[in-house]
């Protein structure tokens, strides 16, 4: 009886070739597992393709609710942006995929797991480090990293095994998408000097013609309603993304530092995630005490790095989550976003519109009009500041005075 291996399966050419390669080279019985994290595509056809390639079993696991609740919410509470820009679209989906890949391996009695990542990217790190954290006893096989086949060679390889793999016209881009956004690379985007063409965009196609406002309500840092209408996380993310995305909001074009040491030009569409993070940051500004707020901002950078580097299941990330959850206890209230219509860019095409915070309120707001105003309602005791300023600057003043004197011999 052949050993079983669970393959993280996407339905594409590479992972279909992985099914055949794992059987041919190692004699594994392959169980293909696809995780639905909100990406585009028909999962019924994915199962058919896996079976056709020779998988003894093909599963689709609906992870959308779990992904939103257990991965996106913690990332949102931490305002997770890698290098201050990227909302960690792909990086956040990998740990939940690995979790279910390992769960499937346990259920079917597999001795190993496999993925279709290359040796150049970040995902190999995320898949393998996460697997090692959850199931150190399982072997890990990375076919694409080993075989060095081109796309054309993959098609020929399948054909030689008697499998005709119908391939549609290849997009010039490599795309990964889920509830949190869409990552696009390759093709013309590999030249960091060139402007991304309009055909790379799906989530931020400009269709809005009138300005609008939309209000996001949060409870303890979790978005719970849009314009006063309560809804689940998945629905809220999808509706908010569709709304702000119609203004062209959520586009990122950046050169980032991959974990393997390569600088890579990446284009992202993140309408919902960026809108939620910006709104959440703004709500924190009026609800968090100053030192807590400043220390949280320091930790957010580290939290983002852990996700990007494949360390979701690390004890440090879990400990930081405890801090983020505690810090969010009073991050409750409403944030009003204003969406302005697109304009014209220098080449005559429509440039993206603007989405920005226009107002915020909270029952836990630390903003006091009586303390902040310079008007008649001012209750701040200005005379108290004289002694405070003198004591605050005393150390620096003493330093300066000593520096101006000749040292005692």
DSSP string, 12-73: SHHHHHHHHHHHHHH-PEEEEEEEESS-SS-HHHHHHHHHHHT-SEEEEEE-HHHHIIIIIH
**Cα three-residue angle 242-245-246, rounded to 5 degrees:** 85
pLDDT of residue 167: 58
Residue 356's Cα: distance from chain center in Å? 20
5-29 pLDDT tens trace: 999 998 888 899 999 999 999 999 9
- How confident is the model over 30-52, as a mean pLDDT? 89
96-128 pLDDT tens trace: 999 999 999 999 999 999 999 988 889 999 999
In whole angstroms, how far apart are CA 65 and each of 35, 36, 37, 407?
Answer: 12, 10, 8, 68
**What is the radius of gyration, based on Cα positions, of the chain?**
26
pLDDT of residue 407: 60
Higher pLDDT, 396 or 350: 396
Say if residue 158's pLDDT is above 80.
yes
pLDDT of residue 405: 67
Nearest to 33 by CA among 3, 66, 10: 10
Say if residue 165's pLDDT is above 80.
no
Please report the domains of the chain, with CATH numbers, ordered by start residue. 4-64+88-160 (3.40.50.620), 174-288+330-361 (3.90.1260.10), 369-401 (1.20.5)
Residue positions annotated with a catalytic role: 14, 94, 123, 174
Looking at the chain, the whole-number percentage of residues with pLDDT higher than 70 is 97
307-335 pLDDT tens trace: 999 999 999 999 999 999 999 999 999 99
- How sure is the predictor about 409, in pLDDT bands with cuts at 50, 70 and 90? low
Say if residue 237's pLDDT is above 70.
yes
- How confident is the model over 47-56, as a mean pLDDT? 91
pLDDT of residue 44: 77
256-298 pLDDT tens trace: 999 889 999 999 999 999 999 999 999 999 999 999 999 999 9
- How confident is the model over 216-239, as a mean pLDDT? 98
Say if residue 169's pLDDT is above 60.
no
Mean pLDDT across the chain, nearest whole number? Answer: 93
pLDDT of residue 365: 96
pLDDT of residue 406: 64
Q: Which two tokens stand for residue 155?
A: 């098609």
- How confident is the model over 360-387, as a mean pLDDT? 89
Say if residue 90's pLDDT is above 70.
yes
Give the start-end residues of each E strand in 73-180.
112-114, 139-141, 174-178
Please report, to the nearest 10 degrees, the dihedral formed by the alpha carbons of residues 233, 253, 184, 203 taken in order. 40
295-305 pLDDT tens trace: 999 999 999 99
Collect all residues with Cβ–Cβ distance below 8 Å to 258 and sequence separation of at least 6: 120, 121, 122, 264
**Cα three-residue angle 219-223-228, rounded to 5 degrees:** 85
Higher pLDDT, 220 or 343: 220
Say if residue 56's pLDDT is above 80.
yes
- How confident is the model over 136-146, as a mean pLDDT? 95
pLDDT of residue 153: 87
pLDDT of residue 46: 86
Say if residue 252's pLDDT is above 90.
yes
pLDDT of residue 168: 52
Say if residue 404's pLDDT is above 90.
no
Say if residue 183's pLDDT is above 70.
yes
Say if residue 358's pLDDT is above 90.
yes
- How sure is the predictor about 381, in pLDDT bands with cuts at 50, 70 and 90? confident
pLDDT of residue 347: 76
pLDDT of residue 373: 79
């Amino acid at each position: 009886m052949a050993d079983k291996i669970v393959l993280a399966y996407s339905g594409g050419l590479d992972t279909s070739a992985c099914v055949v390669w794992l059987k041919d080279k190692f004699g594994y019985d392959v169980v293909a597992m696809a995780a639905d994290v909100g990406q585009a595509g028909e999962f019924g056809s994915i199962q058919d393709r896996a079976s056709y390639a020779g998988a003894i079993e093909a599963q689709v696991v609906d992870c959308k609710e779990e992904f939103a609740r257990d991965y996106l919410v913690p990332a949102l509470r931490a305002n997770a942006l890698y290098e201050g820009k990227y909302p960690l679209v792909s990086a956040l989906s990998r740990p939940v995929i690995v979790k279910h890949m390992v769960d499937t391996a346990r259920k079917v009695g597999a001795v190993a797991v496999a993925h279709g990542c290359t040796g150049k990217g970040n995902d190999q790190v995320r898949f393998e480090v996460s697997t090692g954290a959850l199931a150190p006893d399982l072997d890990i096989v990375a076919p694409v990293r080993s075989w060095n086949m081109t796309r054309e060679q993959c098609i020929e390889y399948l054909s030689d095994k008697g499998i005709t793999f119908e391939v549609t016209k290849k997009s010039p881009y490599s795309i990964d998408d889920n509830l949190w956004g869409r990552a696009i690379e390759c093709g013309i985007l590999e030249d960091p000097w060139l402007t991304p063409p309009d055909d790379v965009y799906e989530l931020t196609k400009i269709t809005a013609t009138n300005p609008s406002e939309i209000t996001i309500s949060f409870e303890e840092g979790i978005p719970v309603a849009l314009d006063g209408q309560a809804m689940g996380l998945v629905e809220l993310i999808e509706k908010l993304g569709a709304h702000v995305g119609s203004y062209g909001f959520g586009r990122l074009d950046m050169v980032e530092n991959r974990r393997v040491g390569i600088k890579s030009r990446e284009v992202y569409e993140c309408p919902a995630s960026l809108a939620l993070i910006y709104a959440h940051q703004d709500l924190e500004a009026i609800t968090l005490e100053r030192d807590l707020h400043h220390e949280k901002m320091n930790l957010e950078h580290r939290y983002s790095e852990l996700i990007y580097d494949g360390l979701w299941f690390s004890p440090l990330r879990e400990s930081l989550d405890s801090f983020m959850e505690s810090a969010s206890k009073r991050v409750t209230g409403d944030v009003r976003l204003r969406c302005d219509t697109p304009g014209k860019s220098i080449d005559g095409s429509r440039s993206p519109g603007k989405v920005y915070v226009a107002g915020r309120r909270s029952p836990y707001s630390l903003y006091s009009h009586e303390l902040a105003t310079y008007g008649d309602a001012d209750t701040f005791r200005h005379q108290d500041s004289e002694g405070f300023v003198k004591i605050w600057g005393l150390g620096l003043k003493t330093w300066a005075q000593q520096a101006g004197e000749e040292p005692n011999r």
